């Protein structure tokens, strides 16, 4: 039975997918206010908006964020895109009959199809229509061997008089295995964050050729398959900013952080802590590699039996995979070890990283941005080096990070971009910021209705439609009931809508050519002519106190 034919109580009801949610009016007014405010703060620091796609090649995120991280290993929404229809068709033709063709005649026919497929796959691979990878390189090469084996040794396609059934079975099995292993479509991921996308766009558009540092911001949804709870969603919203260019001056880091504290101030969020740290540098030809040295020191300490035995299962695993992450463990019985037993990275920075960090602190002090040093702040994504920071708020509960960020100087180069491009950025969780604004109870964004048009009678209707349009043209929010309402009902509705004024148009108004305006705050009513209407509502007339008063 179709859904439509079922009785109402049996029809399936849909709900938003777990970890996603709808944002409805009036809450959406606060979201809009916040986004507008964030844009205005970021634009005051000369950041320009970048919009990148919601999905990208999986490989981009895996390489940037790091395969061992929670985000990449557990939380990404990934799917394999379809191959081009033409490739899918050739693959179907070449493979559907592969297994049963164990006689020589069938095999000859099959080989000619297979030939076509090999050529097409190779071409598609070279043109980038098929995802490139080491595995695919290997498989394509293997495909060549299989093809040469069949066609070369047996004296050309079409005739295989001497070929054994066993050899045919061997070839077809190898080909079928190839088909199941080769990926004809690209793996694609819904973006879990946007820094990787921004770096990709920077490289793709040769933005290093543009003058000065590129200062970019973005606003939009991100996707992570985390366990949903308050402040943690599977589709959540970030506002982020990135600075890419040849300089790594600590003033850039400090200005970016100051931009964030400006935004917090505009939102009148007072209870927050800015945590900063430096996680040193990787081991590259230009750098001293203080981080890997520190990581070894940390690993050695963590392996000591009296420390190791007190770690939880996750941290025990991380001793080998990513010891740095032990530092931001939230497990209560690991806290004492982390605070008191483990070496602190700030005490193991190389001279360059140390100088950078000291200067960052000076730059923040110059800007009167208060900060707290947190040697535990290592952040969960692999691209970071040197500066890391987070802003936490006690009013958020367990998910207390309002935003996080840091420096990622090697990322652009690692993604195949120009050498020597540095980067730093942050992203704030919009969902959490909105919670914090609501908790702080200082900002109350609403979308008020300026005028409710109460029209009564057929004669009043055309005037009501016309005047509603005129007032909307003056940028007022006007509610025009689509059907006639009794006067009392209209007033009640206007009141519930939160309208400031009711424009009353009934038979009397039409007859006298004068409109009635009622101010709902105090019930004050006056008559005005149609010509005076626009001026009546023109700013500064339209204030809480009312026009002209
Ligand atoms: P992140 O720390 O993974 O960093 O995320 C930044 C912020 O996004 C968090 O502090 C939090 O407020 C919010 N957030 C993260 N996951 C969720 C979630 N599941 N639900 C709600 N809010 C969430 C990054 O994403 C980096 N790309 C930041 C960055 C930019 N670093 C350099 N440039």
**DSSP symbol at 268:** T
For 143-161, write each residue's pLDDT tens digit.
777 777 766 654 444 456 6
* Distance of CA 194 from the midpoint of ligand 1 (Å): 9
Of residues 169 and 212, more confidently modeled: 212
Q: Which two tokens mark 375?
A: 């040697």
**Mean pLDDT of the 336-356 span:** 93
Q: Measuring from atom 18 of ligand 1, which residue has the nearest CA?
A: 232
pLDDT at 97 > cutoff 70: no
Q: What is the pLDDT of residue 163?
A: 66
Q: Measuring from atom 9 of ligand 1, which residue has the nearest CA?
A: 403
pLDDT at 478 > cutoff 90: yes
Q: For residue 145, which of 118, 164, 112, 165 has the smallest C-alpha distance? A: 118
3-class secondary-structure state, position 28? helix
The model's pTM: 0.87
* Distance of CA 37 from the midpoint of ligand 1 (Å): 19
**Mean pLDDT of the 85-89 span:** 80
**Mean pLDDT of the 240-265 span:** 98
pLDDT cut 90: percent of the chain above it: 67
- Ligand 1 touching residue 236 (CB < 6 A): yes
Atom of ligand 1 nearest to the CA of 428: 7
Q: How far apart are CA 512 and CA 159, in angstroms?
A: 101
For 488-502, write each residue's pLDDT tens digit.
999 999 999 999 999
Q: How many CB atoms lie within 10 A of CB 212?
A: 9
Angle at 513 (CA atoms; ends 507, 516), nearest 5 degrees: 70
Q: How far apart are CA 505 and CA 316, in angstroms?
A: 76
* Distance of CA 21 from the midpoint of ligand 1 (Å): 18
Only one residue has tokens 């940390």, namely: 298
**Mean pLDDT of the 422-441 span:** 96
Q: Which two tokens mark 390?
A: 């987070």
* Distance of CA 404 from the midpoint of ligand 1 (Å): 6
> Does a cis peptide bond (omega within 30 degrees of 0) precede residue 540?
yes
Backbone angles phi and psi of 365, in degrees to 5: -65, -40
Q: Measuring from atom 32 of ligand 1, which residue has the nearest CA?
A: 425
Q: Residue 313: exposed, middle, or buried by beta-carbon count in 10 A (0-12, 13-18, 19+)?
A: exposed
- Ligand 1 touching residue 69 (CB < 6 A): no
Residues 6+ apart with CB under 8 A from 14: none
Atom of ligand 1 nearest to the CA of 379: 2
Inter-helix orientation angle 250-266/27-44, to 10°: 150
Handedness of CA 139, 142, 144, 150 (dihedral sign): negative
- Tell me the pLDDT band of 105, cut-offs 50, 70 and 90: low
**Mean pLDDT of the 86-101 span:** 66
* Distance of CA 235 from the midpoint of ligand 1 (Å): 12
**Mean pLDDT of the 292-315 span:** 93
User: Which CA distances in Å does 483 have to 145, 342, 478, 490, 517?
Assistant: 77, 72, 15, 10, 20
**Mean pLDDT of the 319-347 span:** 89
Q: How far apart are CA 251 and CA 235, in angstroms?
A: 33
Task: Report yes or no: 541 and 481 within 8 Å, Cβ to Cβ.
Answer: no
Atom of ligand 1 nearest to the CA of 403: 10
3-class secondary-structure state, position 204? helix
Q: What is the pLDDT of residue 455?
A: 98
Of residues 397 and 499, more confidently modeled: 499
Task: Report yes or no: 487 and 452 within 8 Å, Cβ to Cβ.
Answer: no
Q: How far apart are CA 495 and CA 488, in angstroms?
A: 11
Q: What is the pLDDT of residue 3?
A: 67
Task: Report yes or no: 229 and 398 within 8 Å, Cβ to Cβ.
Answer: yes
Sort strands 214-223 and 48-49 into parallel, antiparallel or unpaired. parallel
User: Which CA distances in Å does 323 have to 260, 275, 276, 310, 444?
Assistant: 30, 21, 20, 15, 44
pLDDT at 388 > cutoff 70: yes
- Ligand 1 touching residue 225 (CB < 6 A): no
Q: For residue 548, which of 194, 456, 535 has the smallest C-alpha distance? A: 535
Integer-rounded Cα Rg, in Å, for the chain is: 33
Q: How far apart are CA 390 and CA 291, in angstroms?
A: 20
For 501-548, write each residue's pLDDT tens digit.
999 999 999 999 999 999 999 999 999 999 999 999 886 544 444 443
pLDDT at 19 > cutoff 60: yes
Task: Report yes or no: 91 and 184 within 8 Å, Cβ to Cβ.
Answer: yes
- Average pLDDT in the chain: 89
Q: How far apart are CA 335 and CA 482, in angstroms?
A: 63
Sort strands 422-429 and 235-245 into parallel, antiparallel or unpaired. antiparallel
Q: What is the pLDDT of residue 95?
A: 63
Q: How far apart are CA 506 and CA 459, in angstroms?
A: 8
- Ligand 1 touching residue 63 (CB < 6 A): no
Query: Which DSSP helix (H) or strand (E) runs through 202?
Result: helix 195-204
For 259-296, write each residue's pLDDT tens digit.
999 999 999 999 999 999 999 999 988 888 999 999 99
3-class secondary-structure state, position 342? coil
- Tell me the pLDDT band of 241, cut-offs 50, 70 and 90: very high
Q: How many CB atoms lie within 10 A of CB 12?
A: 6
Q: What is the pLDDT of residue 548?
A: 37
- Ligand 1 touching residue 427 (CB < 6 A): yes
Q: How far apart are CA 430 and CA 37, in angstroms?
A: 12
Q: How far apart are CA 383 and CA 240, in angstroms?
A: 16
Q: How far apart are CA 342 and CA 332, in angstroms?
A: 16
Q: Which two tokens mark 461?
A: 């209707």
Q: What share of the chain is helix, strand, coil (3-state, %, to 5)?
A: 45, 15, 35
* Distance of CA 388 from the midpoint of ligand 1 (Å): 13
**Mean pLDDT of the 225-245 span:** 96
């Amino acid at each position: 039975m179709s859904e439509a034919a079922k009785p109402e109580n049996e029809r399936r009801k849909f709900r938003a997918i777990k970890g996603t949610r709808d944002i409805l009016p009036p809450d959406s007014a606060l979201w809009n206010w916040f986004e507008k405010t964030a844009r205005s703060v970021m634009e005051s620091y000369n950041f320009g908006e970048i919009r990148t796609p919601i999905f990208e090649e999986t490989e981009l995120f895996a390489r940037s964020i790091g395969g061992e991280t929670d985000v990449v290993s557990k939380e990404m929404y990934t799917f394999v895109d379809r191959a081009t229809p033409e490739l899918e068709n050739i693959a179907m033709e070449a493979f559907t009959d592969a297994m049963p063709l164990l006689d020589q005649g069938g095999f000859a026919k099959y080989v000619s199809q297979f030939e076509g497929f090999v050529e097409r796959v190779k071409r598609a691979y070279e043109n980038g229509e098929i995802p490139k990878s080491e595995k695919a390189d290997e498989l394509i090469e293997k495909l060549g061997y299989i093809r040469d084996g069949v066609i070369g040794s047996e004296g050309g396609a079409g005739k295989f008089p001497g070929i054994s059934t066993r050899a045919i079975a061997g070839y077809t099995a190898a080909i079928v295995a190839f088909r199941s292993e080769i990926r004809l479509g690209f793996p694609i991921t819904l973006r879990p964050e946007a820094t990787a996308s921004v770096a990709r766009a920077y490289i793709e558009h040769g933005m290093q050729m543009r003058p000065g540092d590129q200062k970019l911001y973005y606003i939009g949804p991100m996707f992570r398959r985390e366990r949903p709870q308050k402040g943690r969603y599977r589709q959540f919203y970030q506002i982020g900013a990135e600075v890419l260019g040849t300089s790594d001056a600590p003033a850039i880091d400090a200005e970016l952080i100051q931009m964030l504290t400006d935004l917090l101030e505009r939102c009148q969020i007072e209870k927050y802590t800015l945590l900063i740290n430096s996680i040193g540098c990787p081991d590259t030809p230009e750098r001293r590699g203080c981080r890997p040295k520190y990581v070894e020191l940390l690993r050695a300490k963590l392996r000591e039996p009296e420390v190791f035995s007190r770690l939880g299962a996750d941290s025990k695993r991380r001793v080998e995979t990513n010891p740095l992450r032990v530092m931001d463990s939230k497990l209560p019985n690991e806290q004492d070890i982390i605070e008191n037993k483990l070496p602190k990275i700030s005490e193991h920075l190389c001279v360059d990283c140390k100088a950078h960090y000291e200067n960052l602190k000076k730059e923040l002090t110059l800007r009167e941005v208060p900060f707290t040093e947190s040697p535990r702040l290592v952040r969960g994504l692999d691209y970071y080096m040197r500066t890391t920071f987070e802003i936490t708020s006690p009013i958020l509960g367990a998910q207390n990070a309002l935003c996080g960020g840091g420096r990622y100087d090697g990322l652009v180069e690692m993604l195949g971009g120009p050498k020597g491009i540095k980067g730093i950025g942050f992203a704030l969780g919009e969902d959490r910021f909105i919670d914090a604004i609501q908790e702080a109870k200082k900002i109350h964004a609403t979308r008020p209705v300026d005028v409710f048009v109460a029209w009564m009678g057929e004669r009043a209707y055309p005037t009501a439609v016309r005047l509603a349009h005129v007032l909307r043209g003056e940028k007022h929010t006007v509610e025009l009931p689509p059907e006639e309402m009794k006067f009392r009902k209209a007033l009640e509705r206007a009141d519930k809508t939160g309208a400031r004024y009711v424009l009353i148009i009934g038979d009397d108004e039409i007859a006298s050519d004068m409109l009635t305006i009622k101010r709902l705050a105090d019930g004050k009513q006056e008559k005005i002519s149609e010509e005076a209407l626009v001026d009546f509502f023109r700013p500064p007339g339209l204030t809480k106190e009312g026009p002209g008063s």
